[in-house]
Amino acid sequence: MNRKRTIGLVASVLATGLLLAGCSGSGASNATTGTLKFYTDKAAWKPQFQSLNPTSQKDVKISLNTTGYSDENQYQAFVKQSFRTQQSPGLFTWSTGDNLNQLVDQKLVADTSSIWKQAIADGNVSQDLEKYYTIGGKQYCVPMNIAYWVMYYNKKIFDKYGIEKPTTWQELMDDAAKLKQNGVTPFYQTSTLFTFPWFETLVAGTDPALYNGLADGSVKYTDPKIVAIMNEWLAQEKKGWFSDAGSKTDPAQMLKQGDMAMINFGTFFGASLDGVGMKAGSDYDYFVIPAVDPSLSKTPVPVETGPMCVAQSSKQKDLGLAYSKWWMTPSAQSAWGNARGDVPFNPKAETKDAGLKTLGEDVAKGPYQLVTRYFEAAPTPILNVALEEFGAFSANPGNPLPHLQKIQAAADKYWASKK
């Protein structure tokens, strides 16, 4: 998900009428049934959102009218400008972390504490997920999805070289060396947007407290431990373990054609692999990435969860909250999980993908600890610099310290502004 904060297209959004499209109307409504105007930055998911309408119409007499944006800057501009014009959407997608905090601080999104309380009491959502939606002791929005970041792999490549799913970090490193010896690039990387997964994997897998310290400012990016981790990444880069960071080829297609054997991605990636003709279980599979430090009692698993929010001033606030309440139910999550091909956050939901269901159950009950995906964990001003620096490092591997110093400069500026 692209979370750039540059809002440079407000004028063009207004000029093309995108701001007011579907937002007109007069007077607030207390209706809890009807057609709900839903805005999302995931335009490609529109058919899947719309496919839920028969279920939601049957269950709660609400249907979505979905407007999808494919340009993140344009979407950010639309949503933020809509608050200023009091034409705010009844339901819209956003992101957790600093981005959501900003809206809550301005009292722009509706409180969903009662929805969360009921859903937890009914066993429809894990209390562990609640923290990502809790600000100032209250809950805001509901989870649109939950995705665990795991390692996808080309099963035919693994089978060809007699490689099994690794259960330790050393096994994963040995597998990478074996693949490289046989002319196969082990891992995927990119120099744009998703530049953070390997950093996230190395730091969280080495020391979760160190990783969390970067998020709250108690640990510096120039900390000797972080520098040592980055040097380990550099050593792996020099071994040729990563794909061409500048490749413009779709990563799903790259995995299919063997440009690399593995890719660290969210569990929603299976839908992309299905889309290029790969079959789960025969062409690809996935595993939880083992902890770098074998002494950790629980293996860190990065979790991404994106919210659906209701604007506080929306004319469809009650309708949006009614839909949000339904969204937490087994019926809604069964329909959504099967439409998206991803892990449903409701443990009672039924899913056609047995592997994803098992993964969700294992992570919930096994020796794992959830850590916030770096994309949401890092405050926005720091994140923007970090993504650029990780990308530059991947494209031209070298001394990591100058990159870390630039990120820390952004961190120093950000945390100083909070004092």
* pLDDT score for 28: 60
Amino acid symbol at 176: A
d(CA 286, CA 290): 12
CATH 3.40.190.10 region(s) of the chain?
Answer: 10-19+29-147+303-368, 150-302+374-417
| Strand partners of residue 20 | none
Name the strand (E) or helix (H) holding 93.
strand 91-93
* pLDDT score for 23: 38
* pLDDT score for 144: 94
Task: For the domain made up of 150-302+374-417, give the CATH fold.
Answer: D-Maltodextrin-Binding Protein; domain 2 (3.40.190)
List the end-to-end C-alpha distance of the chain, in Å, as a whole number: 30
- Residue 237 φ/ψ, nearest 5 degrees: -60, -45
What does the block give as tokens for 41? 């930055």
Residues 59/329, Cβ–Cβ less than 8 Å: yes
Residues 288/150, Cβ–Cβ less than 8 Å: yes
d(CA 58, CA 130): 28
* pLDDT score for 249: 96
> Which residues of the chain fall short of a pLDDT of 50?
1-26
Parallel/antiparallel/unpaired status of strands 62-68 and 34-40? parallel
User: What is the reported pTM?
Assistant: 0.82
d(CA 237, CA 175): 15
* pLDDT score for 22: 37
* pLDDT score for 26: 39
- CATH-assigned architecture of domain 10-19+29-147+303-368: 3-Layer(aba) Sandwich (3.40)
SS3 labels along the chain: CCCCCCCCCHHHHHHCCCCCCCCCCCCCCCCCCEEEEEEECCHHHHHHHHCCHHHHHHHHCEEEEEEECCCHHHHHHHHHHHHHCCCCCCEEECCCCHHHHHHHHCCCECECHHHHHHHHHCCCCCHHHHHHHEECCEEECEEEEEEEEEEEEEHHHHHHCCCCCCCCHHHHHHHHHHHHHCCCCCECCCCCCCCCHHHHHHHHHHCHHHHHHHHHCCCCCCCHHHHHHHHHHHHHHHCCCECCCCCCCCHHHHHHHCCCCEEEEECCHHHHHHHCCCCECCCEEEECCCCCCCCCCCEEEEEEEEEEECECCCCCHHHHHHHHHHHCCHHHHHHHHHHHCCCCCCCCCCCCCHHHHHHHHHHHHCCEEEEECHHHHCCHHHHHHHHHHHHHHHHCCCCCHHHHHHHHHHHHHHHHHCC
